[in-house]
Amino acid sequence: GAGVSQTPSNKVTEKGKYVELRCDPISGHTALYWYRQSLGQGPEFLIYFQGTGAADDSGLPNDRFFAVRPEGSVSTLKIQRTERGDSAVYLCASSLYPQKSPGNTIYFGEGSWLTVV
């Protein structure tokens, strides 16, 4: 597609429920990233995929959070036993090459706004 696509755009869920957020990166982009942004803060790194594998998942806050990218394209961020503190915008981004390539840039999707009530 033309840009990074994320679904759902908005999600309201009850505390304790399970949530899945989907990301479809720009066609041909090998690197995919998940970030989380709370109100008044900059995006906070969660996980980075190069191809199908998670190259860096050290930003995931705890074991309730998990992400997959089984075919190296679409990715799903999964949150178990949601808590009110999980409420944030979850941003997916992609880049053509790994971020460590100088000047290689990442492009963000519109985000999934998650509200846990």
Residues that bind other proteins (CB under 8 A): 31, 33, 35, 40-45, 48, 50, 55-56, 58-59, 91, 98-100, 102-111
Which residue type, as a one-letter code, is found at position 13? Answer: T
| Nearest approach, Cβ of residue 58 and other proteins (Å) | 7
Rounded Cα–Cα distance for residues 14 and 42 (Å): 26
Nearer Cβ to other proteins (14/58): 58
| Nearest approach, Cβ of residue 81 and other proteins (Å) | 26
Rounded Cα–Cα distance for residues 104 and 14 (Å): 39
Rounded Cα–Cα distance for residues 61 and 63 (Å): 7
